[in-house]
Structure 1
Amino acid sequence: MDFREEVKTSILIGDGAMGTLLYSNGIDNCYEELNISEPERIETIHSAYLDAGANILQSNTYGANYYKLKRYGLEDEVSTINRKGISIARKAAKKKAFVFGTIGASRSIRKSDLSLEEIKRSFREQLYSQLMEQPDGLILETYYDIEELETVLQLARNETGLPIIANVSMHEIGYLQNGIHLNEAFQRLGELGADVVGVNCRLGPHHMIRSLEEVPLPKHAYIAVYPNASLPDYVDGRLVYEAVPDYFGSSALKLREQGARIIGGCCGTTPKHIKAVKQALGDLQPIKEKEIKARHIEIIEINDNDTTIGLHEKAKTERTILVELDPPKKLGIETFLAGAQVLHDAGVDSITLADNSLATPRISNIAVGTMLKNQVGTNPLIHITCRDRNLIGLQSHLMGLQTLGLEELLIVTGDPSKIGDFPGATSVYDLSSLDLISLVKQFNEGLSYSGQSLGKRSNFKIAAAFNPNVRYIHKAVQRLEKKIACGAQSFLTQPVYSLDQIEEVYEATKHLRTPVFIGIMPLTSSRNAEFIHNEIPGIKLPDDVRRAMAAAGSDPVKARTEGIAIARNLVDAVMEKFKGIYLITPFLRYEMTAELSQYIRKIDSERFAEVTAHD
């Protein structure tokens, strides 16, 4: 049998799910490891799909790469598991079906978890292992990230002349998660050498049919479709797929009408579903022409009403002061609002609002930010952590912020829950800070995470965190450059307490065009200084600073005076090198950061007057 000749003239039947079928039978661990420990079980499933009418059997190797197997302590078994997967499928096929080696995607919704170089190394190991067993072809499946699929497809095509099926997965009808239309994805994959381009997983037959209605027959490849059985239900703590095989079979006829040359099944499908597909299609031949449904292109509205200058733009040319004032831990907002008014009157450009800092619950910063905007007249900078919200919650949160006109954002990872008031609470971290920065940038292009149009573009200004309190600052700056590539427009640092460190940060970042706001937090007592020095990771106070705070003793007035004096000294150094200053209010003592803000404005005013006088 020759696959390329067969697919030219026939509709081939793919097999169905492996993982969800094992899951439905009570197995909930590494499915690929069964190639070694229970090969007979895997062979039985392959045989059932062959008997149901499948012309293509996929090896049980979807997640058999280094990073996924490492979760189970099996990273040294990559070659063995992949080779066994091919040989088991070969044995079950009995020369009656094609055997394709399956390689699944490595990236999940957190794109930053694995770099392309890491993906390449892992992919090569899995690819070479499978090629040693001489499969009839390869199937690359469940790729939400087109960048990853294009990368590995090129690698595979450079290494082998075997037939390759390249399947993307969609979040939304007709679109990949980065907004690329399915037709464009097919064209790109075909040009890179895929023999067959297709879709699998996430969506059921109905939505895949609708997606293909807008896709012409590819010029360089054929189409494969592997729908899920249905949307899953959640029953007694387990995912259950309930689509009946007859519906799946009748859907195969509609998929054929959309040009599918290979029709199989993904999550929730069983040999019964594949048998229904085989019976429905019978000896029908593939179509050679199809009518294309006009694609509905939604116009993304640009908000021309936004005339505000972002803090990042202002900090490029003139002094810009940010002051962090944590929302209250208890109900009652009066003292907080009074402090915010004092800071506003002191001339700060924005009050920044942390998002449950130190994993301690506070009044929602989106509520407080709205009050500041409406009652105080300040433009707040809202922190967003990755810790507290999953991807659904983050997207909803962003839409709410845009709706309220809260457009200045600081994207941070967020302190882990175990250090806060509820150490047993779950830290979510669906996205890393890099991923969330990219998502906000995508919002500014009018697209949601799934690639669906938002109807209009958001106007977010994106700040990110910078920790200079590290051993090797050049590595921290490399991370800044990654954040800039993702969309960061400015940076706020953790507090610094050393004049030498200010100089070091300047030298390390002066090549960047992205403004850096240097963090300064006035000390309130010797005990406060010792806590920061000894218990806050990465921050070390100079000896002279600690001695000065210790000399103030337990007198709160002297301690406050000394803390302000140290902060002023730092401010003087920052003003020589940076336009942006980020004052962090300690323990809601807003009078300290208000005094520092007034000091900064006074110095700038005096310098301006001096320059004007000379002119």
Structure 2
Amino acid sequence: MSFLERMKNEILIADGAMGTLLYSYGTDCCFEELNISQADQIQQIHKAYIHAGANLIQTNSYAANYIKLQRYGLEDNVKDINTAAVRNARKAAGKDSYVVGTIGGIRGMKPNMVVLEEIKRSFREQLYCLLLEGVDGILLETYYDIEELENVLQIVRKETELPIIAQVSLHEVGVLQDQTPISKAIERLENLGADVVGLNCRLGPHHMLETLEDIPLPNRAYLSAYPNASIPAYTDGKFHYEGDPNYFRQSAKAFRNQGVRLIGGCCGTTPDHIQAFASELKGLPPISEKLIKKREQIRISDGNLPVREYTPLEDIVKMRSSVIVELDPPKHLNTAKFFEGVKAFKEIGIDAITLADNSLATPRICNSALGYRVKKEIGMRPLVHITCRDRNIIGLQSHLMGLHTLGLYDVLALTGDPARVGDFPGASSVYDLSSFELIKMIKQFNEGISVSGKHLQEQSVFSVGAAFNPNVRSIEKAVQRLEKKISYGADYFVSQPVFSEKKLLEIHAAVKHLERPIYIGIMPLTGSKNTEFLHNEVPGIKISEEIRSRMANLKDDPVNAAREGVAIAKSLIDAACELFNGIYLITPFMRFDLTAELALYAHEVSAKITRRNENAKISIN
């Protein structure tokens, strides 16, 4: 009799964590490889769970796929590891317990880091290895991304008639990270052929039971639940769980009353936790009817969005010529010169001060703090850069919530220069997200939803700029990145500095089909050393031989070298204003006198072009 047939009239007990036990024994390596090198140890863990009362155990193959084994250089051992995983479980189970082949999810909080087609190829390889060894079913567990789970579930259903257990993992009660309600996700998985559907990992009994209250009994499939033991603690460099098995005993009947027919454990659980479930549920039949608790729906903002004091930049630059200026936050605590520059730009009438986020991985005053002062004290629009380098997902979400609270709604989403290029080369670069995912995250905030799928109870109104590097060999590939950023929600683009009129023409031809406006970056050169540094050492910047030669001729004359740099920038402004509405001036070394002169010049050139075009229209009419 299959375990699925037994579940018609029984509540089955599954096993608990494998990795947690191995970690507690001091094993901190590829747990799946231990199927080969420490087969006896793996079998003993399986036997401990069976002795505790488990009817169904899973193979130690959660991450035994090509993609995850690559981390250890074991990608060519997929077959051997999965084969050993099934044989170890079979040897431990004998005839008393069922063995399901486990395949874990790959995507997590960063669903787009691994291409779906790559996941499917890796999945098929692992699936075939498990099926060839004769498992009693397939367990798909710890899937945060419903798209991934639906795709791999369809593959399994096509390849076998064995029972399939499909389990999602949640960051928040009742909802997946893409905002799919759990009841809808369970229904979709059942319709795609899953025989058992449920939850595992991330949540302990309390929140998992709260989530199960939203889930009706499936029409055909059965419900499962594998809660974590507790929230993990971190002491002396190690994670550990402190969940009390008696707490599991106390919650066992509550799981049964929510319709669960397969119950096991995930992270932090041990044979003691499984024994607690088994002893409490022994002899109890599953329920066949269930009342669904109506959860109060959270309303987001009631349609009352924060009031923006000004028109978004992307609308301004679509309507008319626009100049924005970057002024780096100081590397020290003296802000006098910085605010002197801001006031100068205020008088000129530029549209925004852009504030870099520790550019070149060098620590500077927090740009959101300066941005708030720029807005409140001087009345200038701050455009705050946000990089993925210095903050993990937690920090990024907190930062966005802070910017929203401060009323700083204009942001530029960037990946950020790696830490190794800055003042602290030993510092860690985080990169939990790429710029693409950061753009998506910010846009999700505008819908009132956090990155984990949680309701924020208000909607933000961020205007999201994105970076554009045209100084590459293939402008077509650079434009493809722009198109991808647009698909993620970018409202406009700000380019790296351009030092060639020919490049400006090339850019215009390549981007004219895009519906998003572009601010063209222009940076005045200050001398030959500065020119050579930018050309040779700064990513994304290339300067022509002709300009480098002009600056080199003045290497011993700093005053005239700076004037030459301004002259070069003016000629680029002449060309850029003919092609683009947006000019982005980058201030070198706090020389705001140079960028102020260029900003005035850009206004003059744009005004002349506007008058010329208006006169042309009049003459035509």
Q: Could you tell me whether the CA contact under 8 Å between 1:385 and 1:414 is conserved in 2?
A: yes
Q: Counterpart in 1 of 2:70?
A: 70
Shift of 1:172: 1.4
Contact 1:303 1:458 in 2 (8 A): no
Cα deviation per residue 1:182-213 (whole Å; 9 max; x = unaligned)?
11111111111111111111111111111111
Distance 1:429 1:371 in 2: 28
For 1:359-370, what aligned pairs fall within 5 Å after superposition? 359-370=361-372
Residues 488-521 of structure 1: per-residue CA shift (max 9 Å, x gap): 1111111111122222222222221112221111
Partners of 2:242 and 2:529 in 1: how far apart? 62
Say whether 1:166 aligns with 2:166.
yes
Query: Cα deviation per residue 1:351-384 (whole Å; 9 max; x = unaligned)?
Result: 1000011111111101100011012211111001
1:23 paired residue number: 23
CA distance change for structure 1 residues 113 and 562 in 2, over 3 Å: closer, same or farther? same
More off after superposition, 469-478 vs 218-227:
469-478
Amino acid at match of 2:149: L
How far did 1:178 drift?
2.1
Q: 1:558 and 1:281 mapped to 2: Cα distance?
A: 87
On the 8 A contact 2:213/2:258 being kept in 1, the answer is yes
Contact 1:204 1:227 in 2 (8 A): yes
Give the drift of 1:113: 1.8
How far apart, CA to CA, are the structure 2 residues paired with 1:309 and 1:279? 65
Distance 1:508 1:95, change over 3 A: farther
| 2: CA distance, partners of 1:595 / 1:9 | 82
**Contact kept? 1:61, 1:82, Cα under 8 Å:** yes
- Residue 598 (str. 1) matches residue 574 (str. 2): no
Aligned pairs (5 A) from 1:175-254: 175-254=175-254
User: How far 1:545 sits from its partner (Å)?
Assistant: 0.7
Distance 1:477 1:455 in 2: 36
Matched AA of 1:527: K
SS at match of 2:420: helix
Aligned letter for 2:155? L
Counterpart of 2:102? 102
- Aligned with 1:324 (options 310, 323, 326): 326
**Which residue identity is paired with 2:49?**
Y
2:354 matches 1:352: yes
Alignment of 1:102-181 (within 5 A): 102-181=102-181
Equivalent residues in 2 for 1:325-474, closer than 5 Å: 325-474=327-476
Shift of 1:122: 1.4
- Number of residues of Structure 1 aligned to a counterpart in Structure 2: 615
Partner residue in 2 for 1:549:
551
Asked if structure 2 preserves the Cα contact closer than 8 Å seen for 1:112 and 1:432, the reply is no
Paired-residue identity, %: 57
Counterparts of 1:548-587 in structure 2, within 5 Å, are 548-587=550-589
Q: Is 1:112–1:434's contact at 8 Å kept on the other side of the alignment?
A: no
Q: Distance in 2 between matches of 1:265 and 1:215?
A: 19
Which whole-Å CA distance do the structure 2 matches of 1:500 and 1:609 have between them? 25
Matched to 2:580, the amino acid is F
- Structure 2 distance, partners of 1:80, 1:350, is 60
Q: Return the alpha-carbon distance in structure 2 between the equivalents of residues 66 and 564 of structure 1.
A: 54
Shift in Å at residue 446 of structure 1?
A: 0.4
Q: Give the superposition deviation at 1:64.
A: 0.8
RMSD: 1.5
Q: Secondary structure at the match of 2:583?
A: strand
CA distance in 1, matches of 2:357, 2:320: 28
Q: Tell me the SS of whatever aligns to 1:315.
A: helix
8 Å contact 2:59–2:89 — kept in the other structure?
Answer: yes
TM score, norm. by length of structure 2: 0.96
Matched AA of 1:564: V
Per the TM alignment, residue 305 of structure 1 is displaced from its structure 2 partner at its CA by: 4.7
In 2: Cα distance, 1:610 partner to 1:515 partner = 22
Give how far 1:613 is off: 4.3
Cα distance in 1 between the residues matched to 2:131 and 2:583? 58
Shift of 1:447: 0.8
Offset of residue 95 of structure 1: 2.2
Contact 1:58 1:102 in 2 (8 A): yes
Q: Deviations over 1:268-323 (max 9, x none)?
A: 11111111111100111110111111112100013345353211222223212221
Q: Distance in 1 between matches of 2:501 and 2:155?
A: 50
Work out the CA distance in 2 between the residues paired with 1:116 and 1:511. 29
Q: Which amino acid aligns with 2:484?
A: K
Give, in whole Å, the separation in 2 of the partners of 1:35 and 1:439: 39
Question: C-alpha displacement at 1:556, in angstroms?
Answer: 2.5
CA contact (8 A) 1:191 1:220 kept: no
- Aligned equivalents of 2:453 and 2:108: distance in 1? 15
Task: Check whether the contact 2:578–2:609 (CA below 8 A) recurs between aligned residues.
Answer: no
- Residue 318 of structure 2 aligns to a residue whose secondary structure is coil
Instruction: Give the match's secondary structure for 1:262.
Output: strand
Give the superposition deviation at 1:608. Answer: 2.7
Equivalences for 1:294-333 in 2 at 5 Å?
A: 294-301=294-301, 302-307=303-308, 308-333=310-335
Instruction: Give 1:260 shift.
Output: 0.4
Amino acid at match of 1:190: E
Q: 1:501 to 1:24 in 2, by over 3 A?
A: same
Query: Residue 34 of structure 1 aligns to which amino acid in structure 2?
Result: L
Structure 2 vs 1, CA of residues 610 and 538 (structure 1 numbering), >3 Å: closer, same or farther?
Answer: closer
Corresponding letter in the other structure for 1:569? S
CA deviation map 1:138-167 (0-9, x unaligned): 111111111211121122222222211111
Q: Distance between the aligned counterparts of 1:381 and 1:303, measured in 2?
A: 23
1: CA distance, partners of 2:414 / 2:53:
52
Show the counterpart of 1:519.
521
Contact 2:392–2:432 (CA<8 Å) still a contact in 1?
A: yes
* Distance across 2 between alignment mates of 1:505 and 1:134: 58
The answer to whether the 8 A contact 2:498-2:521 is kept is: yes
- 1:399 and 1:315 mapped to 2: Cα distance? 27
> Compared with structure 1, are the counterparts of its residues 508 and 47 closer, same or farther at alpha carbon in structure 2 (3 Å cutoff)?
same
State the secondary structure of the residue aligned to 1:134.
coil
SS in 2 for 1:9: coil
TM-score relative to the length of structure 1: 0.97
Work out the CA distance in 2 between the residues paired with 1:401 and 1:220.
Answer: 48
**Alpha carbons 1:187, 1:220 under 8 Å: kept:** no
Point out where structure 1 has 5 or more consecutive residues left out of the alignment: none
Q: What is the distance in 1 between the residues matched to 2:14 and 2:280?
A: 14
Query: What letter is aligned with 1:483?
Result: K
1:162-185: per-residue Cα shift (whole Å, max 9, x none)?
A: 211111111112122222221111
Q: Distance in 2 between matches of 1:79 and 1:483?
A: 38
CA contact (8 A) 1:105 1:140 kept: yes
Paired amino acid for 2:507: V
State which of 497, 509, 512 in structure 2 corresponds to 1:510.
Answer: 512
The question of whether the paired residues in 1 share the 8 Å contact of 2:496 and 2:540 is answered with no
In the TM superposition, residue 94 of structure 1 has moved relative to its aligned partner by: 0.8
Q: CA deviation at 1:4?
A: 2.4
Letter in 2 for 1:88: N
Letter in 2 for 1:534: N
The whole-number CA distance in structure 2 between the counterparts of 1:303 and 1:56 is: 52
Most deviating of 60-69 and 228-237: 228-237
Alpha-carbon deviations, 1:589-614, whole Å to 9, x = none?
11111111111111222233334445
Paired AA for residue 547 in structure 1 = S
Deviates more, 1:322-331 or 1:493-502: 493-502
DSSP 3-state at the match of 1:139: strand
| Residue identity matched to 1:125 | E
